[in-house]
Amino acid sequence: MIEFRQVSKTYPGSGSQVVKDLSFEVPEGEICVLVGPSGCGKTTSMRMVNRLIEITEGEILIDGEPNTAMSGTQLRRKIGYAIQQIGLFPHRTIADNIGTVPNLLGWDKGRIKSRVDELLDTVSLSPDEYRDRYPAELSGGQQQRVGVARALAADPPIMLMDEPFGAVDPITREGLQDEFLRIQQDIKKTIVFVTHDIDEAIKMGNKIAILKQGGVLAQYDTPETILAYPNSEFVASFVGTDRILKRLSLVRVGDMRLEPANGEAEDLPRIDGNLSVRDALSEIIGSGSTKGVVERDGEKGLLTIDAIEKLSRARDDLRD
Amino acid sequence: MLLQDLSSIEDPKLIEWDWISDNFWEDIVPAIQGHIFLSFVSVAIALAISLPTGVLVYRYRKAYTPVTFVTGLLYSIPSLALFGILISIPGITIGPTPVIIALVAYSLLILIRNTVAGLDAVPAETIDAARGMGLTDSQILLRVELPLALPVIVAGIRIATVTIIGIATIGAYIAGGGLGKMIFDGINRSFPTMIITGAVLATLLAIIADLALLALERYLRPWARRRA
């Protein structure tokens, strides 16, 4: 668990405060996304966790211990670090790059090698093909995979990720996001994830911390709650006027309570249970109807626009 | 003046091959060795000074202007004048020592500037990632910054070496030895064979050193070689 306690950062000299009185908790095994406009102090906040930037006031606790309990370098070897520009070592092979932290921790060669191969598999790069290559020989997307693998190398319980999928095209980015969420289901790291993209925040975060100018926390909650109940004009405009639709994109049709289909199903549009409710709504409207038929576990159910509208106003966490 | 001397030479033969074969082991080989010694020792000393200075200047930027000013000043002194100044200093007598001091002084600017340029070219994100993974400052310098800067540093060594091999010939004027001695002797004796042999060998030496260091520069950058 990571706990921010009234954390502030003021740069000496300029006297400008970039983070102000920030307090929130990132529970064990969850992804907390820091999001906000540029200059909101999200990257600064993240970098204070591993003390690449030192706190001016307040403290950050990691599993109850202040992060100042050990030296900065010791601390950083225990925390995974992945950044947008990736920063792979151009003069080292992929295997050497991934093995950086295990090497610093003094693992033996055999253990490092098998860990490197395991991680290359995890990020869907064939070890035989990639381990001896240099970073410049890889595409942007492949380099970002290696960046994530390198951050995971010593199996740190905590990871810091600063726009880790930011340097690739949107399609590749979606693929990397999906893949990372799949990996996260197994590894359950406690992650502080920085992005400026609200859609990425909604997709990746168990919790979202929206920061505004001057490093002030505007709202900290689940994506569902933030979308349904933004607590201020700032948050509402930051998440966008399509926030209701964004919220619907968080729910799968298959997870909704459906009405029984009583034989009237024949001329209605068919909807795949794996679609998001947002996409289902689009299909229903597109077919000129007000409902669609969902086939689930061999049974048919009806999804109506009314039900979708109710869902969009529901207070509960939709995903569980 | 030099041209007049050459034109007044009575023997029209520019090269007497007999002289070369007669004096090969006795004069020519020791002159080559002396020249390599002068150049190598000078580059080595210059490098031993420039690498730490370059790293220091890279870390403390304020020192960059004064350091390049002083080394630039040294670089701009005519070599003959510098040799003259050096032997007028008490305790320094003619011979290889003042020549080496002068050659070191000439290489500092190039070597320090290339060291700083090489370190500057290391991508900021690479250093950030290294720090973020828990490398200490000295580990970052030794494992990331210097290896990445090395090709640029070696490029500086190439320029410095070629320059030094050329200037070292003038060092014979104050008894530094090497191929310059053969050239000066040839001029004094109005014997073009010696002048040409010395000049050709000095040029060859420079070309060979240049190519060898170019090969080293390539070798030190396997990641770039593979990409191409």
For A64-113, how does the pLDDT look when each residue is reduced to its tens digit (9 = 90+)? 999 999 999 999 999 999 999 999 999 999 999 999 999 999 999 999 99
ipTM above 0.90, yes or no: no
Does residue B105 belong to any structural domain of this protein? yes
Categorize the per-residue pLDDT at A255 as very low, low, confident or very high, splitting at 50, 70 and 90: confident
Does residue B4 belong to any structural domain of this protein? no
B123 to A77: CB separation less than 8 angstroms, yes or no: no
Residues of the domain holding B152: 23-221
CB A102 within 8 Å of CB A115: yes
Does residue B10 belong to any structural domain of this protein? no
Does residue B15 belong to any structural domain of this protein? no
**Closest residue in chain B to residue A96, using alpha carbons only:** B143
A87 to B126: CB separation less than 8 angstroms, yes or no: yes
Those residues whose C-beta lies under 8 Å from the C-beta of residue A1, and which sit 6 or more positions away, are: A25, A26, A27, A28, A61, A62, A63, A64, A190
Does residue B16 belong to any structural domain of this protein? no
Q: How far apart are CA A81 and CA A100, in angstroms?
A: 12
Does residue B61 belong to any structural domain of this protein? yes
CATH number at residue B182: 1.10.3720.10
Q: How far apart are CA A38 and CA A214, in angstroms?
A: 10
Number of structural domains found in chain B: 1
A135–chain B Cβ distance below 8 A for any pair: yes
B46-75 pLDDT, tens digit per residue, is: 999 999 999 999 999 999 999 999 999 999
B126 to A160: CB separation less than 8 angstroms, yes or no: no
Task: List the single best residue of A89, A150, A192 to mutate versus B (max B Cβ within 10 A).
Answer: A89
CB A199 within 8 Å of CB A240: no
**Closest residue in chain A to residue B125, using alpha carbons only:** A87
> What pairing do the DSSP bridges indicate for beta strands A190-195 and A207-212?
unpaired
Which chain A residues touch B130 with a CB distance below 8 Å?
A: 87, 89, 100
C-alpha distance from A33 to closest chain B C-alpha (Å): 19
Of A81, A91, A133, the CB nearest to B132: A81
Does residue B40 belong to any structural domain of this protein? yes
A90 to B132: CB separation less than 8 angstroms, yes or no: no
Rg (CA), chain B: 21
**Closest residue in chain B to residue A150, using alpha carbons only:** B133
Q: Which two tokens stand for residue B27?
A: 């004069």
Categorize the per-residue pLDDT at B225 as very low, low, confident or very high, splitting at 50, 70 and 90: low
**Closest residue in chain A to residue B228, using alpha carbons only:** A137
Return the DSSP state at B98: H
Categorize the per-residue pLDDT at A15 as very low, low, confident or very high, splitting at 50, 70 and 90: confident
- Tokens 């003259």 correspond to B84
Does residue B126 belong to any structural domain of this protein? yes
Q: Nearest-5° angle of CA B217, CA B221, CA B226?
A: 130
Q: Which two tokens stand for residue B203?
A: 């040029």
- Strand order across the beta sheet in which A270-271 lies: A259-260, A299-304, A291-296, A270-271
Instruction: Write the single-letter amino acid at A192.
Output: V
Of A304 and B131, more confident: B131
